[in-house]
Amino acid sequence: MAWNEPGGGRRNPWGDGGGGGGGGGQPPDLEEMLRQMKQRVAALFGGKGSGAGAGGTGGASAGGLGWLILVVLVVWVLVDSFHIIDQRERGVVLRFGKADRILEPGPRFTLPRPIEQVARVDVTQVRSMSSRVPMLTRDENLVNIDFAVQYTVSDATDFLFKVRDVEETLAQTAEAAVRQVVGSRTLDDVQIGNRLEFTNEAREIMQRLLNNYEAGINISIINFQDVTVPDQVKDAFDDAIKAREDKQRAINDALAYAADVVPKAIGRKARILAEANAFKESAIARAEGDAERFSLLAAQYRAAPEVTRKRLYLETMQDVLSRTPKILIDGEKGNNMLYLPLDKLFVPPPERAGATASGGEGR
């Protein structure tokens, strides 16, 4: 029986010996405890506690509400402490607002908020930004450069906290890198030069600047999308480009003409040299042969002058008469009428004609 029931005597629940007749050492009443807890919860939420006459139903309701609050608290702590980090992401854990550690992909646990919070960063996404800025070349010409930058996140913590405005930082570093590259080259180099060399140099400069800033960004590529001149001087630049194209066309025509004429001249030169060398060798061989023959003939003449002289006479007459047209007349049997084929007497024989055409040879 409860210590405060009618007729039961009023006893002290803590056993201090007060009240009537009962012994000390009684445990506290559970219903009283639930009633007090209900009053406190009601006071916490702005309600009014129930009086001493509240029944058992009120105490049970207060107990259920407490357990409900406790369960909700436990579930909330579990849900807020469990995180699944995607393969493309990295989780930056903030403990009381300060970066504490990096969560790798997979299921991870942290302390609940407000103790720890998780900021997710996609480190595989290719982000991009573009800009258009006027710049001066080395030869002091003004050009408008359209460029685009593609980048990824290399360090999630630096990306979130080391740079206040990522887009603004990227725009300024990209502009500085492109200005350095364009300012070291002439307008012709920028317009018709090796774009890949320019973009690689600008990317290296930009990456070095971002590393100094600890921005946590990796530059994939810088692309020069368009290089134009201001509208005020566009006509003059078009004329200059046309003149440069005319110059190049004239150079190409001259090179084509040279490629056609020079080989022919080289061929003619080689043929003339070959003919000259052949004539030289032939003349030398002929002269050496004549000298050798004369030496042999002189030796024979010294051995037998009369015979050699007669043989030379006969060979000379044979050579002369073989090339001379002849008419034989029988004076004894002939008559007074002689027919001379004068039209054929002066026609040179084929061998003499060939010798005359080649310059002739005499003995």
The reported pLDDT for the residue numbered 277 is: 94
Same domain for 302 and 314, yes or no, is yes
In angstroms, the CA 48 to CA 342 distance is 167
pLDDT tens for 270-287 read 999 999 999 999 999 999
Whether 21 is in a domain gets the answer no
Question: 207-215: long-range contacts at Cβ-Cβ below 8 A with a sequence spacing of 24 or more?
Answer: 209/173, 209/176, 209/177, 210/169, 210/170, 210/173, 213/162, 213/163, 213/169, 213/173, 214/155, 214/158, 214/162, 215/158, 215/159, 215/162, 215/163, 215/166, 215/169
Considering 42-46, 187-191, 202-206, 222-226, the range whose residues carry the highest mean pLDDT is 202-206
Same domain for 214 and 258, yes or no, is no
When the pLDDT of each residue in the chain is averaged and rounded to a whole number, the result is 78
The reported pLDDT for the residue numbered 341 is: 66
Q: Alpha-carbon Rg of the chain, whole angstroms?
A: 61
- Band of residue 180 on the pLDDT scale cut at 50, 70, 90: very high
Same domain for 44 and 98, yes or no, is no
- As a dihedral over the C-alpha atoms of residue 199, residue 205, residue 211, residue 213, rounded to 10 degrees, the angle is -110
Whether 273 is in a domain gets the answer yes
Percent over 90 (pLDDT), the chain: 25
Give the Å distances, CA to CA, from 31 to 4, 36, 45, 56, 184. 11, 9, 21, 7, 89
Same domain for 135 and 116, yes or no, is no
The reported pLDDT for the residue numbered 196 is: 86
Q: How many domains does the chain contain in total?
A: 4
The reported pLDDT for the residue numbered 358 is: 42
Same domain for 138 and 217, yes or no, is yes
The reported pLDDT for the residue numbered 194 is: 81
Whether 256 is in a domain gets the answer yes
The reported pLDDT for the residue numbered 9 is: 45
Same domain for 191 and 103, yes or no, is no
User: pLDDT at residue 50 above 50?
Assistant: no
Whether 243 is in a domain gets the answer no
The reported pLDDT for the residue numbered 178 is: 92
Please compute the mean of the pLDDT values over residues 256-277 and round it to a whole number. 93
- Band of residue 28 on the pLDDT scale cut at 50, 70, 90: low
Same domain for 120 and 63, yes or no, is yes
Q: What is the domain extent for residue 308?
A: 252-320
User: pLDDT at residue 207 above 80?
Assistant: yes
The reported pLDDT for the residue numbered 252 is: 94
Considering 16-25, 88-97, 264-273, 294-303, the range whose residues carry the highest mean pLDDT is 264-273
Considering 210-219, 235-244, 354-363, the range whose residues carry the highest mean pLDDT is 210-219
Same domain for 33 and 97, yes or no, is no
Q: Which of 97, 124, 151 is the last residue of a domain?
A: 124
Whether 361 is in a domain gets the answer no
Residue 186: give its domain's CATH number: 3.30.479.30
Least confident of 2-16, 98-112, 125-139: 2-16
In angstroms, the CA 229 to CA 239 distance is 13
Please compute the mean of the pLDDT values over residues 230-251 and round it to a whole number. 83
Whether 185 is in a domain gets the answer yes
Considering 16-20, 137-141, 217-221, 341-345, the range whose residues carry the highest mean pLDDT is 217-221
pLDDT tens for 70-114 read 777 777 777 778 888 888 888 888 888 888 888 888 888 888 888
Whether 307 is in a domain gets the answer yes
- Band of residue 18 on the pLDDT scale cut at 50, 70, 90: very low
C-alpha neighbours within 13 Å on the C-beta side of residue 356: 8
